[in-house]
Structure 1
């Protein structure tokens, strides 16, 4: 093989690598929004890379669209497998929490789309509906691009998008609070939990607040949603004596990282509406906490 051939092959591989690296954050976000799992999203990216290195770039008109197509197809395969796993999951299933960088938190649309509440709404869609909704509503891909990614006609994708949009709209969480209001509520909540002040807790919890706890059958957690301010406050009041609470931003939501003996025990994400906490999402499953030592790589 000549030096020219070696040079062309090296140059082609450089192009392949550069294209993948340039769009990696976007691909991760697509996979994560479809799967709700950072670990599975990383697996999808590995599979996308293996398929991408075998592609002749000379035949690719739009590298970003082509990579999104590969990622979507791989994520759909994983999503169907995850669906079967969730059927036998012990207790509530919650998405794997991710620490979000300031630029994600400031992107209101992206932050909302990866919030715990929204990811749980997306769980109620079929795999194809979820893929179409994410690609159209979050990333604003054209219908013909989505059609290629999910193996449907553009006309069918339009119908699926309309159906998914209506489904999500009927279940979409209420409007979020302002940044200042959120800070006040989170701080009041943290102080109340740290001091075990039941009345302070009741003051910041909505009467119909819902607490979901995900232990995955590995650690102790409520197997059913806990509903109502008094019931939720009673459970949270037990945290004060043995834990340290660290404010954080998780999936675009305000959150507290709960540590016991220096180790992450629970991630508690908060949903705040009109100055009151309406939803609490407590992830305790150790398998879902392993990514918390690094910042997420979400992108649009």
Structure 2
């Protein structure tokens, strides 16, 4: 019983990370209806920039550890937001409302640019962060099998839940949220009513980039490192996960992603780990096939 509770506890931080990534991904996807592979690259780019600038602050600027981490967080958020602004405003915006295939090709190009920029900036080195907030927080003090998480896992989960709540509140109650819903429902009708769909898309893309940036920073703090392979794996999973939860509805996409995080953790705990990705992706594909609707039939 204690082992099961520990696995459920382990699933919570991963589920929260997947939920935030899916929430951000659905923000931009709902406006364009175009799959974009750049999102996972922004996640990985932010994590790598955070680790790189934190290393610069510690080894080159001789800052204290908290100041180095703050320096890395600030520059990682800024650089990723700028990457999202440039990518969304000058690369994706001219293509997003034209052709789905062109968006996929452009996103692959953006992915390569971000990957090479991060690699060249770090000198192709694998940098690691020191352990921070790694104190154990006891959840169930069983003397035979204590259930616990680290402080960074709890902090990350709290921050991510807060971001999703605030994001949902903005979409539900703000003027921009009304514009976003209007463009998501019918871009042409929204334009006739005076809403600029391109501005709404760029704002959604930058907001999604900031969420990806924050998730990349939190993941790097947890794991101590970030590489593009990890970021792209998360990005591909989120693309499938958001499709099940509702690609056009960020909150539903987040809930679907959280459920996926629990399933993945339970498989890692009780199933053969070598088959984990094959099994979870197989489940995702099966669900997508079973829930697919033929739009040609009224």
Fold shared per TM-score above 0.5: no
TM category, shorter: under 0.3
Q: Point out the structure with max Rg over C-alpha.
A: 1
**Greater RCO between the two (CA within 8 Å, min separation 6)?**
2
TM-score (norm 1): 0.26
TM-score (norm 2): 0.26
Which structure features the higher share of helix residues? 2
